[in-house]
């Protein structure tokens, strides 16, 4: 069974719309995922900077890094408050844990493997780490006193949180794309359904012009 010209136009229109919307959605999702991940990492870095500011102000009063009051409770409150922060701890230069939101980690030396750190901001660095069968983007910030580094603040951003949010965004984007696609197809269908009448009117108009008349068939 051969398709008439109307059917061919509908198929070509569907293909063009599908490719255009599909490519546009893919590109937008790629940039959305990249920007969203970056935004969460930056947010966690800002959370870390706030604690570091408090610690460095306290150190300026003459206290040592391993004798600061209330830091464990502060780490725990931040983890409870922000879902993006799975863990938060402070180490000395030998990677011995001085403060942690989970007390059982205190005085342990962090030995889990991590990738090379890369710059997130001018002061914060990020690593991709794996431990406890989970994966994290770990943001680290140096603790400085009189231009000398005494330790680090480290915060863990679960990769699962990013993947979950991105999955939600992808599902919504696909639904919007499909809705737009179906709406465009319906408009194209109704337009193409009226196309034969328009072409017939145009053909009659041409014939009338050749005969010197202005007879147009109206329906």
- Tokens linked to 139: 């943001």
6 found inside a domain? no
Query: How far apart are alpha carbons 124 and 46 in whole angstroms?
Result: 9
20 found inside a domain? yes
pLDDT at 16 over 50: yes
Q: Is 107 left (phi over 0), alpha (psi -120 to 50) or beta?
A: left
pLDDT at 68 over 70: yes
CATH code: domain of residue 60:
3.30.450.20
> Quick one: pLDDT at residue 118?
80
**DSSP output for 71-91:** HHHHHHHHHHH-TT-SEEEEE
120 found inside a domain? yes
In whole numbers, what is the pLDDT of the chain averaged over residues?
Answer: 79
Q: Which residues contact 218 (CB under 8 A, 6 or more apart)?
A: 201
Domain interval for residue 172: 11-219
Confidence grade of residue 52 (pLDDT, cut at 50, 70, 90): very high
pLDDT at 151 over 90: yes
pLDDT at 194 over 70: no
Helix axes 5-59, 159-211, angle to 10 degrees: 150
> Quick one: pLDDT at residue 208?
58
150 found inside a domain? yes
56 found inside a domain? yes
| pTM: predicted TM-score of the whole model, two decimal places | 0.68
Could you give the number of structural domains in the chain? 1
pLDDT at 8 over 70: no
> Quick one: pLDDT at residue 26?
74
Average pLDDT over residues 175-188: 74
Nearest to 26 by CA among 134, 177, 213, 211: 177
pLDDT at 191 over 70: no
């Amino acid at each position: 069974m051969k398709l008439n010209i109307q059917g061919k136009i509908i198929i070509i229109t569907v293909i063009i719309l599908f490719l255009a919307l599909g490519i546009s959605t893919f590109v937008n999702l790629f940039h959305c995922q990249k920007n969203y991940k970056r935004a969460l990492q930056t947010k966690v870095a800002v959370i870390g900077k706030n604690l570091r500011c408090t610690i460095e102000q306290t150190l300026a009063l003459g206290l040592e890094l391993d004798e600061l009051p209330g830091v464990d409770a502060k780490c725990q409150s931040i983890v409870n408050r922000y879902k993006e922060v799975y863990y938060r701890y402070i180490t000395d230069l030998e990677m011995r844990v001085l403060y942690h939101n989970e007390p059982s980690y205190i005085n342990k030396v962090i030995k889990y493997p991590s990738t090379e750190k890369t710059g997130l901001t001018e002061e914060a660095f990020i690593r991709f780490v794996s431990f406890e069968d989970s994966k994290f983007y770990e943001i680290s910030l140096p603790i400085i006193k009189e231009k000398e580094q005494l330790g680090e603040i480290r915060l863990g951003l679960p990769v699962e949180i990013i993947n979950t949010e991105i999955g939600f965004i992808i599902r919504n984007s696909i639904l919007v794309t499909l809705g737009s696609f179906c709406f465009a197809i319906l408009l194209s269908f109704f337009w193409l359904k009226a196309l034969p009448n328009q072409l017939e009117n145009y053909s009659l108009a041409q014939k009338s012009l050749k005969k010197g008349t202005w007879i147009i068939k109206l329906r």
